[in-house]
Structure 1
Amino acid sequence: MKIAWEDIPVGTQSGAVKFIVTDEMVDQHLEAAELDRDWLPGASEDEMKPGAGRIAPIDLISRLWGTELIYKFHNATIGQSVRAKHASTFYKPVRVGMEVTATGHLKTKYEKRDRKFITYELKFSDADGTLLLLDERVLMVLDEGFQAK
């Protein structure tokens, strides 16, 4: 670890970003995830066609911004890790043209079975401050000398 376990700053902000959701983001995500254009059953034609108001896939924003909100901080401050758990709660659809503000913070740290874990929480909100997505990830901290085989 880059800093001592006892010095890891619980509660500290791990990252913050503000961005506008675009059709290009949605199209690239659909292609990379190999999703059909009509990936959302029950959505209206207007909600699926390109342009303002188009609904983005639910995991788009957490996938795009996880590195910025967690991993840059974690890798620079703490070191290597492996994701042990991931849970997301979706509150409201994310749409093309929407301005999203996202923050991440180090929520908890704990030890279990001689392993060290850190929980990060990511909050994604629209321009009015309405919560869109709450994302929680638990990372298992790897020993300093760990080498993947």
Structure 2
Amino acid sequence: NKNGERPTSFDFYFKTKSGKEFYFEIKYTENEFGTTKKDAARITKYNDIFKKVAENKIKPDSNNCTDFLANYQIMRNLIHVSGDSYVVFIIPKNNTKVKDQADKAKDVVIETYKDNVKVLYWDCLYKFIDEQKWEDNLKIHFEEFKKKYKL
């Protein structure tokens, strides 16, 4: 992890041959993106690590300890955005709290990286897959996935 002492976990990550990086945060049934308590250890960690890392990625009015910890999971994702790095949230469209949080994430990053934060909806992804003429088991796997997570 290039952005701090403790790595941020992503649900999925890949790097292309051309060097572009894609970090995925995927929500299935969770009610919200994670927060964390504002205790001494986390305040110190924000001041020692995250504040500087976020400096050229997060808008100054959002790069403060209170906002960072209140939106901890999203902020830890967003600090990975850069010219060749993208953060992608895949979420259920009908989960309004998660949708609102993901949509607001684009407004937290500086203008330079706003287009590098993407929000995809499960129902759009399913529709795309259903429209494909693939002859492998991908559609079957997605149907099972939809049943399992009641999407």
Q: TM-score, normalised by structure 1?
A: 0.27
Of Structure 1 and Structure 2, the greater strand share is in: 1
Q: TM-score, normalised by structure 2?
A: 0.27
Of Structure 1 and Structure 2, the greater helix share is in: 2
